[in-house]
A and B are shown apart, each in its own frame.
Chain A
Amino acid sequence: MRPEAAPPIVELRDVDKRFGDGPLILDKVGFAAERGDFITLIGPSGCGKSTILRLISGLIPVSAGRIVVDGMDPSSATERLAFVFQEPTLLPWLNVSLNVGVPLRLHGTGAATRSEIVGKSLALVRLADRMDYYPRQLSGGQKMRVSIARALSISPRILLLDEPFGALDEITRNHLNEELLAIRQQLAWTAFFVTHSVAEAVFLSNRILVMSANPGRLHAELRVDLPYPRTEETRESPAYQKLVGEVSRILRSVEHLKA
């Protein structure tokens, strides 16, 4: 145990999760996130990494153990917490700016404040000129940026991202990774990020949690000590590539565990 000044912003203690009478999805998962951490969860399919995000968000309850978010139970802490889903999950009948304003509207924020915040959020993801577009007029990458702008609109302290760039081509994905980190330089949130891509995990995070499946357990934790801001050059640095190799090796050993 190392001494800590500030309490962790999110803490999981011996968390178990099963759905109904189903098999154990998560088995005694425990970790703590410091403010400003960018934690990536990576592991084979079915290891419960998305489930962890849903538990932190309060969308579903734990079966055993405890989660503390910002000193509170997850279900009462949701207002400072935003979720970016695997798919953009935009409302197709609303234009871009109304979509970004949905969380504020649900919280009863007035129209004037709303449009000001929406404008700022869209500027952050460089889509200020697409306000009046409808989702179907946007590319996959643009939709995802709208989805991120929507999450940012409530000034979250905690951002949960469930494989948000999984469906995009690699170039778009790299761009969005860089944008995400650039936004993070301006707004300090703690991020939990789920991905299948080792390269993405190493590029974004300062901590990587590798999970094993059946049931989902924390297998290993790696610290990524590459300095922020990270750029295209980061991807070419030997330190980055060494880490990518290391995480890939651990992932392979986890896959063997499963077999």
Chain B
Amino acid sequence: MSAPGPGVLRVLGRLLPLATGLGMILAWYGILFAMSPEQRFLLPAPHQVARAFVDEGPALWGAALNTGGGALLGFGAAVALSFLLALVLSLSPLVRASFYPYLMILQMTPIIVVAPILVLWVGPGLKSVTIITFLICFFPMVVNTTQGLISTDRNLVDLFRMYKAKKWQEVFLLRVPAALPYFFTGLRIAGTLAPIGAIVGDFYAGNSAGGQGGLGFLAIIYSSRFQMGALFATAAVSCLLGFIFVAGVIALSWLALHKWHDSFSHTEN
């Protein structure tokens, strides 16, 4: 064969992304050089961002922890409550028809408008951030899980009826496991939304009191002081938080599905 062997391809697969990253950093410096000196404060150099990581480290990681905590709480609450609501909604089309319009209202109301209301109700800080994250994650979870619970293969339902399954057996031994792929689709969407939701929440309803602010709050502080390096570092940490959430969700869905579901079929056979 004239094509490169699998070993070569694997090494290339590792090296190319690294090379792309290096190229982008070089391009970054290139852009800086092209800018006029009085514009340069707008774009921090990569080494300045790295510097900000060191200087602002404690503030950044503390804020990341606060935001991550709010994101996790809101996400967890959304998962638990959406599952319960989905069980109720799966009971009948009538129940769904009576709930869906209000769920839509919940989803359509912009968080920017909801945030000040929450601040007035529960005060700024973790509570508000958690509720905002919850509101953002809840809808995709409910819709996907409900869809999963009502999409059970007709034949499998017949099989269960045939063997006189009780209603709870039909729900927990059949409908819930069959809905898992849908549930995890919702979880992936909610998992990407949760850290964003928590940061947005923190931006509008964060607590400014010492040490309680999150990444959204830090972004406000740094931008008001024109600390561009620190602002970019905040963006990088936010991005990292998002990756952690997505990785966690993917790990969970792998644990639950890889043995039987076709979405992981490349792992066996």
Interface residues of A (CB under 8 A from B): 57-59, 78-79, 83, 85-87, 89, 91-94, 102-103, 105-107, 134-137, 154
Contacts and interface: CB of A to CB of B under 8 A. Distances in A.
Interface residues of B, number: 25
Contacts of B162: 57-59, 78, 83
A86 to B, nearest CB: 8
Given A79-B164, A106-B169, A135 B260 contact: yes
B261 interface: yes
Interface in B112-169: 153, 155-156, 158-166, 169
A58 B162 CA distance: 8
B81 interface: no
Given A106-B173, A135-B260, 15 more contacts: A57-B162, A59-B158, A59-B162, A78-B164, A83-B158, A89-B159, A91-B178, A93-B178, A93-B180, A93-B261, A106-B164, A107-B164, A134-B260, A137-B268, A154-B163
15 contacts: A59-B161, A59-B162, A78-B163, A83-B159, A85-B155, A86-B155, A89-B153, A89-B156, A91-B156, A91-B174, A92-B260, A93-B259, A106-B164, A107-B164, A136-B269
Given A136-B262, A137-B268, A137-B269, A106 B160 contact: yes
A83 B155 CA distance: 11
A86 B153 CA distance: 13
Nearest to B159: A89
Nearest to B174: A91
B208 interface: no
Interface string B179-200: 0100000000000000000000
B223 interface: no
A78 B159 CA distance: 12
Secondary structure at chain A's binding surface: helix, strand, loop or mixed? loop
A135 B163 CA distance: 20
B177 interface: yes
B68 to A, nearest CB: 32
A92 B268 contact: no
Contacts of A89: 153, 155-156, 158-159
A106 B163 contact: yes
Contacts of A136: 260, 262, 265, 269
A137 B158 CA distance: 24
